[in-house]
Amino acid sequence: MTARLLDGVALAATTLEAVADGVAEYTASNGRRPCLATVLVGDDPSSHVYVRMKVNRSRKVGIESRRFDLPESTTTDELLSVLGRLSADPTVDGILLQHPVPAHIDERAAFEAIDPRKDVDGVTRTSFAQMAFGEPGFRSATPGGIMRLLDAFDVPLAGASAVVVGRSPILGRPVGMLLLAADATVTLCHSKTRALADEVRRADIVIAAVGRAEFIRGAWIKPGAVVIDAGYNEGNVGDVEFDAAAERASLITPVPGGVGPMTIAVLLDQTLHAARHSAGLDG
């Protein structure tokens, strides 16, 4: 068996075409473009790359991008002040705080300083609760992208056994809630999980979000399972041993080109949604 690729690049392109059309319509009706404010603290090279990609994609679909680069020495209070001003600014529709922030900053406090109506990256407690209860709201961007991939490739979720490896508050936990809302039977695994390989072997759907290169071995994958690799490690390597897993899975995301493009597509789609909601429009 050779797995079919879950092509995030193609799906993201289709999504962004629709976003561009929606942005043009919004701009014509409201006299301004939707606006995404991006806040970056410190000098982490990877974070700068990610922010640059998001800014470039924003511009391509017509979304105004405002970038705020803060020094490594920024305190929690100073960051909260910036986020508070952006939350109160009626010309800003979405706010993205690039994570992780430097270790001395209270990241959770920073996330909670974002107005939930502008939380287009889905990082606040309000957004998490909305995901957990199946209520309207913003999905965490990467989990939201994963769910769109599964839907686009007609992966049956109701009754499926889904194993999520990783429990971060912006990836593992929210994707578990979204899968549960789609009627999957969800197991959240982590560093304390006993017999992790056995948990993965019984899964119809595996979500790898542990942040360790090739941590999920190909031999663990159940024949015919769907594998979503949300990891990205040095050397363009995911969290799954790709070649070996692809021999057993029915569908698998490549790294890069799988989950990553969908993360940005969801972020920008949700920025448009936030703008439309603020203007009292449907959608």
Q: Is 126 left (phi over 0), alpha (psi -120 to 50) or beta?
A: alpha
Structure-token pair, residue 237: 């390597």
Residues 93, 98, 222, 229: which is the catalytic one? 98
β-sheet bridge partners, residue 64: 35
> What helix, strand, coil percent values describe the chain, rounded to 5?
45, 15, 40
Q: Is 122 left (phi over 0), alpha (psi -120 to 50) or beta?
A: left
Structure-token pair, residue 167: 């429990």
How far is residue 148 CA from its own chain's centroid? 11
Within 10 angstroms of residue 89's Cβ, the number of other Cβ atoms is 15
For residue 42, give the DSSP letter.
S
- Sheet of 94-97: strand order equals 64-70, 35-41, 94-97
Crossing angle of helices 141-152 and 172-181, in 10° steps, is 40
R_g over Cα of the chain: 19
Q: Which amino acid is at 6?
A: L
Structure-token pair, residue 178: 């979204």
Residues 93, 119, 121, 229: which is the catalytic one? 121
Would you call 270 a catalytic residue per the annotation? no
Would you call 69 a catalytic residue per the annotation? no
What is the b/e burial string over 180-209, where b = at least 16 CB atoms within 10 angstroms of the residue's CB? bbbebbbbbbeeebeebeebbeebbbbbbb
Catalytic residues: 54, 98, 121
